[in-house]
Structure 1
Amino acid sequence: MPKNPNQKLKLLYLMRILLERTDDEHGLTLPEILDALGGYGVTAERKSIYDDLEMLRVYGLDVERTGHKYFIANRTFQLPELKLLVDAVQSSKFITHKKSTELIKKVESLASVHEARLLQRQVFVTNRIKTMNESIYYNVDKIHAAITAGVKISFRYFEWAVDFSEEGGPLKKQFRRNGKRYRISPWALTWDDENYYMIGFDGEADIIKHYRVDKMAEIQLTAERRDGQEHFDRFDMALYSKRVFGMFGGEEETVRLQFVNHLAGVVLDRFGKDVFLSRADDAHFNATVKVQVSPQFYSWVFGFGGEVKILSPGHVAQGLCAAAREVLALYSE
């Protein structure tokens, strides 16, 4: 009778069986291991399995025995760590539903089938906003490649717009600059407030800019060497993030704000521990920060109602008043 070719894979199948079917709480007896190997068309004697288990231990697999059962004790990732990874994937807005499902399946493969069921219970939080751009993963890869190669990229940049005049749903891509391609020197990628951003240098405007990666389309690497090195030699990503993200789109200003005392934690979370604070009175403190003055910044201030006040500059305070009047006018009827 010809020898089963799967016999040569016996050790690999044994490792797979232990990794997939055992953990601290679930083991397999020797007869169960022999039966599982039989499912792969592999026959074995009890004595050879003892030798194989020892070889796996020498290899580095933490095979342990309790009573008559063998199991994998320590793994690269423990169950609590895998739960953290699953939660991070599931809650990330920049990862689409489809890719979230694919990634979570891969994370589950790092656990036994028994622990994977516990991970699946972490997935049932489904009503979270996800990006609609499935190509973000390829975008990130291309940007990394351009950064490594030190070249510029070209791309088109879009916003989601509402258009009920066409079939296929109201959401349509609306390209900025009438679809004209951007040509930017990429220098870094950062993840802020659940969104991926590319930080790059716009040589034509001679300034640092950032772009949402999920809104970049048709990215191409160019043969042109990137520029802006002198700006990024002294670039502080943490400082840039504090000033820009969530409040982007306007001129940078040094703004003095007054907060009620219980908002100290909010200020530190937003601007970091290095922000300058001073006492205003028993109930308030002042903070001096650098921000991008924009509608997003005004919205952030609006969110605190009467608990935050812009003290200076005057034109920034007036800008907030103008924005408030504009909103109020919508309800004047």
Structure 2
Amino acid sequence: MNLAGNKALVTGADGFIGSHLVEELVRSGCEVKAFVYYNAFGSTGWVAHFPEEIKSQVEVIQGDIRDAGAVKQAMRGCKLVFHLAALVGIPYSYLAPESYIDTNVKGTLHILQAARELGNVKLVHTSTSEVYGTARFVPISEEHPILGQSPYAASKIGADQLALSFYHAYDLPVAVIRPFNTYGPRQSLRAVIPTIISQIASGARRIRLGSLHPTRDFTFVKDTVRGFAAVAASPRSVGQVIQVGSGYEQTIEQTARLIAEVMDAQIEIEADQARIRPANSEVERLWADISKAKKLLDWQPEYTGEEGLKRGLSETVQWFTAERSVRYPNPQAYTI
């Protein structure tokens, strides 16, 4: 499918990855509807910060993914739907698991039902590497067993399986994209890379973090959104689960020290018990096998290996410091 000239709906457009995806699609020639979370403040999240040349080409729709009628109305006229709207904070899922089922599972069901009823819609559904739990083998392929080690992960497993069931049961053209740990400008300070950057930028040299030994496949947001576009454009993606990652693994501690190097800072790291997951819930190792994406989509990351990670971190640091995003009362405070 040629993206140019087609109308696309992006749910979760006000968020980190969703906002970058909207910009990518506009630059690809898509007509874009940005579905953002309705709130009493009238905030449209990161959509409000788009350059004018992007903002002027985006139709913003405020709504709630939990409202089936609002979802269906927003989808009218669209041939592509990128479903990113979700609750994503793992710590909060321990406290409020029901809200994750309502948003992540039932919200996805509303998207699927609307796509089926409206017809002529290709759906790109967003998964997460958290569905695997701790790796049983690495690098992790799409054939790896799935295991919900947090309520968040369980809700995403449920949403993924619902999406695939609509492909098998109703022949709905669904593709599941499974990003690994995306980072970059606009990411929440709750995520590990932004919290390290914000602490260092605020002048702290004793950096508070949770577990240091788990590994992650950190993927720069530009690569992730190119993956979304490639999944949407390829007819070979229908009915498939396709991972996008950097293909490179590094521990949290190594990442913190690389950020310190990029920011020219000497740091010490101290454990903050509030940031440590329950023992059986910690995902110890994530490292993506991206061979399927390379084969089916002709996609590959541009930010890979230590050099690529360092380059992506440099761009991320530059954004956070230039945007003065570290101006928070206490960057070392932990917010669930």
**Which interval holds the TM-score relative to the shorter structure?**
under 0.3
Structure-1-length-normalised TM-score: 0.23
Q: Which has the higher strand share?
A: 1
Larger radius of gyration: 1
